Chains A and B, each alone.
Chain A
Amino acid sequence: MREKLGLATIFKGLADIIWRAVPSLVTTHALVGIVHGIFTGLGAVAFQRFFDAVTEAVAVPGALAAVYWSLAFLCFVHIGKEVLNGVHNFISNVLLMKLNGYVNLQIHAKASRMEPIAFENGEFLDDINKAREGAQNSLVLILISSTIFTFYLPYFIFMAVYLYSLKPSLALALVLVFVPTAITQFIRSAVFARLEDQVAPKRREFDYYERCLVHREYFKETRQLGAVSFFRRLYFTALRLLQRETWRAELRTNLIELGMNLVSFAGYGGVLYLLVTSLFRGEISVGSFAAVFASVGTMFSIMEEILVRHFGEISKGMGTVRNFIRFLNLAERKGDVAAVARSGDIVLKDVSFTYPGAEEPSLRGINLTVRSGETLAIVGPNGAGKSTLVRLLTGLYLPTGGEVLVDGVSTKELAPQALYEGVSGVFQKYQRYQMTLKENVMISDTASNSDADFKAALTKAELDLDPGTFPVGAETMLSREFDGVDLSGGQWQRVAVARGFYRQHNLIILDEPTAAIDPLEETRIYKQFEEMSRNKTSILVTHRLGSARVADRIVVLDNGEISAVGTHAELMDTPGLYQEMYRAQAQWYAS
C-alpha cells in the first residue's frame, strides 16, 4: 500500500524546494505583496478623507487646502495600487517560471536516477506521468498559500482595523463577507465533482465517435467501409445524451449557485444595513459611507478570489501534487561506483524475474554463463521473455530471484554508471531523437566528443552524408517539426546502428528491429551486427533463426524458461522447439 501523504508533509517538502531555488525572489514577492495589500485597503481610506474634505468645504467655504491634499493622496494611492498590482502579479509569474524550470530539472535528474523497472510498474507509472503536471500544481499551491499570508491577510487586517476605527460594529462586515462565501465554496466542492463525474463518460463517448469519423487512425478504413453513416448515427445519439446530461447537471449547478448567491447577497445586505443605520444615526460621515460602500464589492470579489478560484484550483490539483511528491520519493538505484571491466563472464544463477504487479514470472530458473568474447544469440517466439533476459544481462533490471554476476559482482551491488560502462546496443525499439544527426549518434556517449569516432561510426553503419538526405551534413536536424528532414525507416535504423558503434563497448546488445524493413536492408543489418560483435561479447536477439547461426551459442527461450542451449548444429540434431521453428521458416526458402 502506498503511504498517504499528509498536507503538512506536502507543504514542508514544497516550501523547502522553493526556498532553496529562489530565496531572494520569494522575499521580494512577499514584501511587495504586503505593501500591495495595504495599498488596496488604503484606497477606501483615501476616498473617505477626500469625500469628508469636500463635504466639509461645501458646508464651510474656504477649507480648500484639505481638499487638495486629500485629492493628491487619493491619486497617489490609486496609481500606487495599480503599479503594485502589476508588479506583484508580474513577480508571481516570474517566480512561477523560474521555479518551474528548477523543479523540472529536479524531475529529470530524478528520472535518470530511478530504477528503470519503475516505468513498467503500473502503480508508479501514474506518478511518473503526472509528475510534471503535479510539479506545476505544487508551485501554484505554494504560491497561493504564500499570497494568502502576504497579500490577502494584510488587506483584510487593514480593513478590519479601519472599519473598527470608524465604528467597532462595522468590523462585523468582514464576517458577513467571509461566512457566505465560505459556505458557498464548501457546498460547491461537495456537489460539483459529482455532477462532472456524471457527464464525463458521455463526453468521452461523443469524442470517441468523432475520432472514428475524422481521426487518422480510423479515417481510411471508416471511409472505405462506408461506415461514416454508421458512426454518424452513434455520434448524434451520443451528442443527444451528452447534451441532456450536461443540461441537467448545469441546471442543478446553477440553481445551487443561485441559492448561494442569495446567501452572499444577504451578507451584502447585512453590510449595507450596518452602514446605512450608522449613517442615519450620524455615527459615520457621508464620506465614510460612500468609501466603504464602494469597497464592499471589492471585499466580496477578493474573498471570492481566495475561496472560490484559488481553493478550487488547489483542490483540483491536489491529486497530481501527491503524484509529484511520491515521484520524488521513488526508489533510486544505489551501489558501488567502482567500475567493473565488463571483460569477464556474466553469470546468471537460478535467475527469475517477475514484473511488478504480474502474477506469473516472465523468466524462471535461468542458469547461464555468457562467456567473455562470445556471440550469444537468444531466440524464441513472441513473448518468450527475450528482451527481459537481455535487460537482466545488462543490469537494467535486477532479478527478483537469484543473482546476475558481472565480473563476479552482483548487479544489485553496482551503481548504474559502473554497470553500464562499456555496454552499448541497438535496441528493438530504438529511439528516433528529434535532434541533429550528430546529436542522434553522439547521444550514446555524451562524455566523449570525438569527431573522428563520429565519422567512423557513420562509416561502419554505411550512413552516407549525401546532401540529398542530409542537406547540412552532420548538423541536419532529423525532425520535420523542428524545421529539419524526415528519414525513412531504413535510414533511421542506420542511425541507430551508428549510435551503437559510437559508444565504447566490450559488451554489445543487438535486438532485432521490429520496424518494417525489406530483405536487402535486413541482410545488411545482420552483416553490420556481425561487424560490431567482432572481438566483443555480444548478445543477439532475433526472430530470424537463420541469422542466429552466426552465433557461437544459441539460447532457445520458451515461455520464460531456457528450453535449449547449443550451437546451431547441435540444436538441429535434437528434436525440439528450435528445429521446429527453423524448419517452419526455412520451408519458404526451400527450392
Chain B
Amino acid sequence: MEIREKEYGILDLLAIPFRCNWAAAGFILLQRVLLGLVPTVQVIATAAFIDGVLDVYWGKGELADVYGSLLVMVALVAYNRLIWRALSLAGVRLDMGYQAGVRTAVTAKRSRLAYHHIEDAETWDLLNRVSNDGQTQILGGFNSLLTLGSSIIHISGLVVLLFSQVWWAPLLILAFSIPLFALGIKGGRATYEVNREVSKYRRRHEYLGEVLLSREAVEERALFGYGEALNEKWNEFYEKARVKQYQTQRKWYIRMKTGSVITAITSFLIVLVLLNPVLTGVISVGMFISLVNAVFGLVQVMSWDFTMVMDQLARSREFLKDLTEFAKLEETPGAVELPARVIPEFSTLEFKDVCFSYPGTEKMVLDKLSFRLDAGRNYAFVGVNGAGKTTIIKLMTGLYQNYSGEILLNGRELRTYSPSELKAFFNVFYQDFSRYYIPLGDNIALGDVNHGYDLTQIEEVVAQLDLDDVVSKLPEGLDTPLGRIKEGGQDISGGEWQRVAMGRAMYNPAPVRILDEPTAALDPIAESRLYQQFEQISQGKTTVLISHRLGSTKLADHIFVIDGGTLAEAGSHGELMEQGGLYREMYESQRGWYS
C-alpha cells in the first residue's frame, strides 16, 4: 500500500480498513449490522412468547405453541454471546492487515523523507504519532463508526416497531428528543480544548517528577538538597492540572449522563404513550412489556457507549489530520537506493560561496564558504562550537540541498548527482555512530552493501582493528547478534562498539572518508588514539577530520579554520601558527596548560 497525498476524512476510517483486509472488514461490517437488528427481533420473539404464556394462563392457548418463540429467544442470545469470538478473530486479521499494509507503508515513507524533516522537532512528533497511534486510531475509529451504525439500526428498528404499533408515537418522541441530543453532542467539542491545556501542565509536572526520581539527577538532587522545594512545585503544577481535569471530567460526566437521563425521560414518554393502547387492547401485553424493556435498554446504550464512540471519533479525526499532514511531507527521490556499484574516482570537491541556513530558521550557518579538497590528502576542519563544521558534512553528503552558491564534486554541481552516486563517494564515521543490534559480522558488512558479506575481507578488518578479542569472547563469533533484541544477543562495551563501527568504516570502499568529531565521552588520550587509528586505516584515501580539539589535527596536511560559517584561515599547522589568527589562539590556549 502507498500513503497517498490527499485530505483524509472520516470516510477513510471505513476505506482504510477495507483496503487492509476487505474480507475481514466486510465480515465485521455485516455482523455489526446484524447485531443492530438483534434487539428488534428479540422484542418480537419475547412479545410472542409472553403473549403465548398469558394465553395459556387465560385458557386461550396451548403451551406447545410458545416453544417456537422461546427457541428464537435462546438462539438470539446464543448468537449475541458467541459471535464476538468470530468478530475478535476478524479484528486480529484486520490488525495484521493494517500492520502489513499501512504501518509498513508509513515506515517506507519515513525512510524516504527529505532529511530536514528528521531534524525538525515538530515533524518528529508528528512522525511518531503517525507510526505509533495509527492502528489504534484508524481501527478504533472504524469500530466506533460501526458501533454508531449498529446503534442507529438498533434505534431505528425499535422506532419502526413502535410505528407499526402506534403510528404517531415515534413522531412525538423524535420531535422531543432530537434537539436534546444535538445539544449533548455540541458540548463535546469544548472538552477537547481543555484537554490541551491540561496536557501542558501535565508535561510540566511529569518533567519535575522525573527530576525528583531520576538516576541522572541524583548527584545534584542529594547535594543541593532541592527535593522538598521541587516537590512543592510539583504539587503546584499537579494541582493545576488536576483541577482543570476535574472540571473537564465533570463536564464530560454531565454530558454523558444528560444523554442517558434524556433517554430515560424519552423512554418514560414512550411508556406513557403506549399505556392507553395496551389497556384498550390495541397492542398486546407481551408486545408492551418487551417494548418497554427494550426502550429502557437504550438508556445503557446512550450513556457510556455513545459517549465513548463520540470521544473515539474525535480522536480519530485528529489523527486523520495528522495523516494528511504526514502524506504531504516531502520525500527525497532515490533516497533509499543502494550506493552506485562502480566505485567512482574522486578528484576534487569544491565549495564556492556556499550560504546555508536550516529550513525554518533565519540564522546563516554557512556564509559564503569556499574551500577545495583534492584527492589523496588529509584535511581537518576546526573551529569553535557552532561554527558550522558538522553542517559542512551534511551538505557534502547531500542531506540538505537548499544551499545557495555552488558545491562542485569532480567539477560537477553536487545537486546533479543522484543520491546513489553520492553515497558511493562518501563514507562517514559519525560521532553518534549507529549500534545495529544485528550480528557482529553484518555490522561490518553493512559498510559495503553492494559487495555484501565477505568472510575473508571481514576477517582482515577484524585482524587489523584487533577485534579478535571481542570476536573470540562471543559465543558464536562473528554470527553472534549484538544487543538484546534477538535471543542470544550479547552486549558489548562502548569502546568495543566504537571499534565495530570503525570496522564498518574500513569495509567501506568509498574514496572520501569523513570522521565527524568523536563524542566527548572519550578522554583526550583515547581521542588521539582514535584519530591515529583512523589515519592508519585510511591509507590512500582522502580524509576529512572534524574536530574542535587541536593537537591531533596536526595529523592533517591541510587545516581549514571555520568561524561564523565562513573560512577564517587555511593552511598547514605550521602556516597557521605563523599567521597568528584564531587557530593559533585556540592552539595556544591549550598549549598554555602544558608549557
Contact = CB atoms under 8 A, between A and B. Distances in A.
Contacts, number: 377
B225 A517 contact: no
A396 interface: yes
A86 B234 contact: no
A286 B104 CA distance: 58
Interface in B289-331: 289-290, 292-293, 296-297, 299, 303
A544 B527 CA distance: 12
A474 interface: no
A90 interface: yes
B88 interface: yes
Nearest to B213: A111
A362 interface: no
Main secondary structure on A side of the interface with B: helix
A589 B591 contact: yes
Given A54-B288, A61-B279, A588-B528, A78 B299 contact: yes
Given A208-B437, A235-B107, A547-B593, A109 B249 contact: no
A532 to B, nearest CB: 15
B133 interface: no
Contacts of B432: 217
Interface string A431-452: 1011000000001111100000
Interface stretch (B153-161, B179-187, B237-245): B237-245
Interface stretch (B8-16, B383-391, B463-471): B383-391
Interface string A81-120: 0110110011001100110010011011101110010011
B104 A239 contact: yes
A219 B114 CA distance: 11
A480 B437 CA distance: 32
B550 A78 contact: no
Nearest to A222: B434
Contacts of A228: 111, 335-336
A349 interface: no
B253 interface: yes
Interface string A394-430: 1010000000000000000000110010011101011
A379 to B, nearest CB: 10
A344 B303 CA distance: 72
A377 B429 CA distance: 34
A546 B299 contact: no
Contacts of B190: none
B44 interface: no
B249 A90 contact: yes
A33 interface: no
Contacts of A57: 279
Contacts of B207: 434, 481-482
Given A58-B279, A585-B594, A586-B594, A517 B229 contact: no
A128 interface: yes
* B interface residue count range (under 10 / 10 to 19 / 20 to 34 / 35 or more): 35 or more
B25 interface: no
B137 to A, nearest CB: 18
Interface string A50-74: 1100110111010010010001001
B553 to A, nearest CB: 9
A516 B522 CA distance: 10
Nearest to A101: B238
Contacts of A64: 279
B81 A265 contact: yes
Interface in B378-434: 383-386, 397, 399, 420, 423, 426, 428, 430, 432-434
Interface in A117-167: 119-120, 125, 128, 131-132
A112 B212 contact: yes
A94 B53 CA distance: 49
Contacts of B552: 588
B206 to A, nearest CB: 10
The residue in A218, A254, A503 that gathers the most chain B C-beta atoms within 10 A of its C-beta is A254
B92 A246 contact: yes
Nearest to A548: B593
A83 B445 CA distance: 67
B261 A83 contact: yes
A58 B92 contact: no
Contacts of B450: 226
A416 B225 contact: yes
B487 to A, nearest CB: 6
B82 A261 contact: yes
Contact of B104 (A67, A236, A382, A417): A236
Interface stretch (B169-177, B263-271, B346-354, B535-543): B263-271
A254 B89 contact: yes
A167 B276 CA distance: 32
Interface string A484-524: 00001110000000000001000000000111111111110
B220 to A, nearest CB: 5
Interface stretch (A7-15, A22-30, A276-284): A276-284
Given A90-B253, A268-B77, A108 B449 contact: no
A279 B161 CA distance: 26
B268 A75 contact: yes
Given A247-B92, A423-B223, A517-B385, A226 B449 contact: yes
A552 interface: no
Contacts of A230: 446, 449
Given A287-B289, A420-B222, A519-B586, A258 B594 contact: no
Contact of A589 (B265, B285, B587): B587
A79 B226 CA distance: 52
Given A112-B221, A128-B213, A236-B104, A226 B53 contact: no
A346 B81 CA distance: 75
A463 to B, nearest CB: 16
A257 interface: yes
A564 interface: no
B502 to A, nearest CB: 13
Contacts of B50: 286, 289-290
B339 interface: yes
A226 B337 contact: yes
Contact of A82 (B124, B228, B261, B279): B261
Contacts of A430: 220
Interface string B251-269: 0011011001100110110
A158 B27 CA distance: 41
Given A79-B264, A212-B436, A585-B524, 5 more contacts: A382-B523, A446-B228, A516-B520, A545-B593, A589-B587
Q: 7 closest Cβ contacts across the A-B interface?
A: A546-B593, A112-B227, A588-B551, A446-B229, A589-B591, A86-B257, A228-B336
22 contacts: A50-B292, A54-B289, A61-B279, A82-B261, A112-B222, A116-B218, A217-B432, A220-B115, A221-B430, A224-B397, A243-B99, A282-B57, A286-B50, A286-B54, A382-B522, A394-B223, A423-B223, A431-B211, A446-B228, A520-B586, A543-B524, A589-B551
Interface of A: 47, 50-51, 54-55, 57-59, 61, 64, 67, 71, 74-75, 78-79, 82-83, 85-86, 89-90, 93-94, 97-98, 101, 104-105, 107-109, 111-113, 116, 119-120, 125, 128, 131-132, 201, 204-205, 208, 210, 212-214, 216-230, 232, 234-236, 239, 242-243, 246-247, 250-251, 254, 257-258, 261-262, 264-265, 268-269, 272, 276, 279-280, 282, 286-287, 289-290, 293-294, 381-382, 391, 394, 396, 416-417, 420, 423-425, 427, 429-431, 433-434, 443-447, 480-482, 488-490, 503, 513-523, 526, 543-547, 549, 581-582, 584-586, 588-589
